[in-house]
Structure 1
């Protein structure tokens, strides 16, 4: 006997996430699972939505977020955090993958947990965040009442390294590397989705290739991917990409190149080399894919603009150094001349391309460029940056306008790419990608620019990432699949988030279903929080 339907989406056009042509079908939901019905067949449900003229698709999967701490309860909370939590949902995202760029809330040895907390406070910018010893503790710390979307998490190598050996700029001992491998193995066995690195960020930047190969071999044993923010996405992009491919080949782990870009004036146009290189590697048997966000600006922490040596020892050590004029002189020199192996963002662009996104005690400077702020104060930009980091105890996020449109378009169009926001959900004036990425791909790049067909765009947001990250039963609409769904108007869907209004909700996303429950109706949240932490097995 058929189960009674709780929800029926009637008359819509199904784009099922596989890349197959769209078709007309009614989509039902019962006990959190999907039922497909021939169009027009009589059926009843507790809730019936007439979605004729609209597209029904799998809920979007954001493969690259930094929302690890967004559902961790705080004693006191900035009111804007509630809007940050809803931004992905309102653009149709039902699952996020966190733990990217080497930063996760776990794992660590017990004795390393207290000093790790300060690092995580600065990284995630949502107040005090307690690090967790393993994935199970991380999952338990996510408050169900705050989870609007599902969450999976990678194991961040930077957190793992700090959780074993602190923030020392050195090679790990054999015992330390073994401890890292053991913690990683445990977390992956508990359901973490893979291993990530952020090789421009301390302490990950201190790791050599051999260290990463050893850890990626652990991921490979679990059949999970190695996900990397390359060591350089600017002038040394080719060399950094070769390192990532070497790690994949030697370890046997699938390779996911995070937010693939060629940024800074010395790398503009380099996607003409990097994308064919990835395609050639895949043809040679390397399981390599990438993700991309649809903007020409990135976002990260301000202290990553400084040379690696300045960050050795962690945030406390950095802040102690920044008082010294001799240190500031060395920072100026290294930005001007470069340091081998360091992605020199400012040297590749300039302080005039970097704007403040979040500075908790200086809200009046949010949205303004560093060069302009320094000139206004009558000082050198490095001095301004050092003073700002000191005033904010290291907690400053920036937006870097460093890419070119033709490179972004090539990566979006690549058959190897999927969509991720790289959202950094902090109060202030965050990058609009957190609220706009998926609607922007569908509307601007898909419908308006015709860079992608609708079926291809949806596949890059659903079926492709679900397969890559082992999200069984998600990412495609088929009988028995998890009922995570989005309904949108293909004629009107578009992003409205801007650098001035970064959390403006998109147009044309009319309904979102999470775990079978209607979380967005008529474009507005219903208050349902049905997301949960996903264990990837």
Structure 2
């Protein structure tokens, strides 16, 4: 080579992200870009790292996060979230996060709706008041470079978009409102947002009919960007919800990404035996459909999502006003017992004994404990306990739901259409360990120990496949000229250590992470590098 490169990774096993067999090669980094060299090629470098016996892979891409606000401006006087929440993905090799999932992003909105939207986002992100943005450019400008350890891209959340135009009313949009939503979406996608997401179990997204989503997905299709969906039901009605998603993709022409595909709750256990072949048949018939998955049998979300959708109509303030009324609580109890048409009803499909409190700022003693046990200790009905907790926390409570079966998780992980996403919910308290452990868990537990998939396939699901799906040009594959986002790990020892009791424990076996050509993790410890940027998808 000519002039000295900035960094040389010598002697490693290159797993390049394409799914091709691993091979010995050296990787040089200069000016933030990669050159792949035959093993042992003489090269002068400012820094040489001997990575013999370890794998060199593209930096992992977490396609499903809720980290939108971790480096965004918060309300006056609000303390910044602890840096260990920001570091958790980086320490397991994630160099790019995709946020804005499940219908919630920090943008876009009509200016007049920003105050009401801010209250909704406070409850959703659970780190205090959050400032929403009118468009993607404003979101990008609000990301603090001093807080960005890795890169971030964002989808446009349909729930945010809807609330930013028409508030939290349970009704179809008027034609002018739908036009305004389409215009805001078009502008955000033009500015570099990565696609459109929905969260069809969450108000206000749950109030939208299929026709509304089709109209918006057509905008995404015009930009060549995917429609990414948290299905309307992942439990007893998961198959009909999947059909709705496929219909939206077929009618709009948008590529379909099924978020965190699961079949949860006792009425849906085993349904992956039908949903996965259905996805494969749709793809064979010409629908560009893929999915993502996290490697755990428990999910995590906001507590008020356990309540029927009518409870949240009108926004957070209206929800809190209702929860103090006995007639409202009785109606919630009845709806959980009997169900409501079109509502997922997580508790009715499982029970309060499967729901644990993850984050409740004023009640830390409740964190990590099941709602049924907490209610029994106080001698109250679980619905009363939940309503009182939401009132005490002004709606800002996160939960963990133990609702899945291992065999379903394994099927989705091994399937040909899946990629890896943590669905990380980075909040104080006891967040789900998937935020700190998903990628290491796939590499160690499922690929190496369980032999569910090969090392090359596992890395492909974490890098090349998601980069192609979300249009992340120059990322996800180790090849000449690619962005120098890299991870070096020991295939023989890599493993997750994060648990429900200690959810932010860093993994073992991941030694070096390079972000935009700078070493961000050295010997398993973070450096002072802050090379992360907002990625615009064009």
Regarding TM over 0.5, the answer is yes
Measure the CA separation in 2 of the matches of 1:527 and 1:266. 49
CA shift, 1:114, in A, is 1.1
What TM-score do the two structures reach when normalised by structure 2?
A: 0.99
**Match for residue 444 of structure 1?**
445
Contact 2:73 2:131 in 1 (8 A): no
CA shift, 1:73, in A, is 4.0
Contact 2:78 2:129 in 1 (8 A): no
Task: Give the 5 Å matches for 1:204-243.
Answer: 204-243=205-244
Measure the CA separation in 2 of the matches of 1:263 and 1:47. 49
CA shift, 1:4, in A, is 2.6
Measure the CA separation in 1 of the matches of 2:329 and 2:380. 13
Contact 1:55 1:490 in 2 (8 A): yes
Measure the CA separation in 2 of the matches of 1:279 and 1:424. 29
CA shift, 1:414, in A, is 0.4
CA shift, 1:396, in A, is 0.1
Give the aligned CA root-mean-square deviation in angstroms: 0.9
Task: Give the 5 Å matches for 1:252-401.
Answer: 252-401=253-402
Contact 1:3 1:30 in 2 (8 A): no
Establish whether residue 422 from structure 1 lines up as the match of residue 423 from structure 2.
yes
Establish whether residue 64 from structure 1 lines up as the match of residue 64 from structure 2.
yes
**Match for residue 98 of structure 2?**
97
Contact 2:186 2:219 in 1 (8 A): yes
Measure the CA separation in 1 of the matches of 2:160 and 2:34. 38
Measure the CA separation in 2 of the matches of 1:430 and 1:2. 48
CA shift, 1:42, in A, is 1.5
**Match for residue 248 of structure 2?**
247
CA shift, 1:256, in A, is 0.1
Measure the CA separation in 2 of the matches of 1:45 and 1:460. 31
**Match for residue 54 of structure 1?**
54
**Match for residue 472 of structure 2?**
471
Contact 2:81 2:127 in 1 (8 A): no
Measure the CA separation in 2 of the matches of 1:108 and 1:77. 23
- Worse-superposed segment, 118-127 or 382-391: 118-127
Residue segments in structure 2 that go unaligned for 5+ positions in a row: none
CA shift, 1:47, in A, is 1.1
**Match for residue 177 of structure 2?**
176
Measure the CA separation in 2 of the matches of 1:497 and 1:79. 23
Q: How many positions carry a matched residue from both structures?
A: 537
Q: Matched residue of 1:11: which SS?
A: strand
Change (3 A) 1:348 1:449: same
Q: Matched residue of 1:145: which SS?
A: helix
Change (3 A) 1:431 1:88: same
**Match for residue 158 of structure 1?**
159
CA shift, 1:466, in A, is 0.1
Contact 1:255 1:287 in 2 (8 A): yes
Measure the CA separation in 1 of the matches of 2:444 and 2:296. 14
Residue segments in structure 1 that go unaligned for 5+ positions in a row: none
**Match for residue 519 of structure 1?**
520
Contact 1:198 1:204 in 2 (8 A): yes
Measure the CA separation in 1 of the matches of 2:193 and 2:43. 40
C-alpha deviations, 1:55-100, integer Å up to 9, x for none?
0000000000000000014455657621000000000000000000
